[in-house]
A = this chain, B = another copy of it.
Amino acid sequence: MANPLCIQLINPNTSLAMTEVMAQTARSVAARDTQILAVCPEEGAPSIEGHFDEAIATLGVLQQIKAGRDAGVDGHVIACFGDPGLLAARELARAPVVGIAEAAMHLATMLATRFSVVTTLPRTLTIARHLLHQYGFERHCAALHAIDLPVLSLEDGSGLAQQKVREQCIAAKKSDGSGAIVLGCGGMADLAQELTLELNIPVIDGVSAAVKMIESLAALRLTTSKHGCLDYPLEKPLSGRFAGLNLREHYV
């Protein structure tokens, strides 16, 4: 690790405010040598609260992955709790790619035998449930909770959403028999450390968790496997606005 590491932090939505919140959290935990390159798509959805929003966001994620790859970053973080486009991004990337839901959930299982999730809108619970299933952590999750406020309420300056997150975490600690809480939205990144202190249990933010995962993988000289289904996309003439996403020469 003689050279500084550059981690691309991709906010899949177009909110600059949320990008900034996550960038600050990422920088606060990154190693001294790590540079955080925080980006978000120029076009897309201002927040991600469902399967449709995720599908829109995925395209922005992939374009950022390509830009990051061309810029030679050492790793990519997908900073939305649904980990949109994760496997597609891994195909496209040369460096490792880590999602924030994934990172937070993995760490949670090392700190407690069961964890709870606190997220924003109830309709996103299905996404969280699918991720638990895909990652293998169904049995490690005691309960899922939603504060029933949209993602962008975390950026409205009123502090209401933050207060609801706090209350929900306290309630979850009491009711679920969980030893840890996973925050289910990138926009909650700045709450984890103070809630950890106040609640006296690990309250885990995926943004900072993913940054450390990338740093770990880089130090171990491990990167996305190009053997099998995560190999670079097959070269084919992507047409229209997708042209340029799939250029074989960039792979070598």
Contacts and interface: CB of A to CB of B under 8 A. Distances in A.
B50 A233 contact: yes
A79 to B, nearest CB: 15
B49 A228 contact: no
Interface residues of A, number: 96
Contacts of A126: 87, 113-114, 228-229
Contacts of A54: 88
Interface in A10-63: 14, 29, 31, 42-47, 49-56, 58-59, 62
A193 interface: yes
Contact of A223 (B88, B202, B213, B225): B202
Interface in A197-246: 200-202, 204, 208-209, 212-213, 215-217, 219-231, 233-234, 236-242, 245-246
Contacts of A241: 43, 241
Contact of A122 (B87, B177, B209): B177
Copies of the protein in its oligomer: 6
A9 B27 CA distance: 28
A184 interface: no
Given A107-B222, A109-B135, A196-B221, A228 B123 contact: yes
Interface string A111-141: 1111000000011111100100111111110
27 contacts: A29-B220, A42-B239, A43-B239, A44-B238, A45-B238, A46-B237, A50-B88, A50-B231, A51-B87, A51-B91, A52-B246, A55-B59, A59-B59, A87-B113, A106-B106, A111-B224, A111-B230, A112-B224, A112-B225, A114-B126, A122-B228, A135-B136, A136-B137, A173-B227, A196-B222, A201-B225, A212-B220
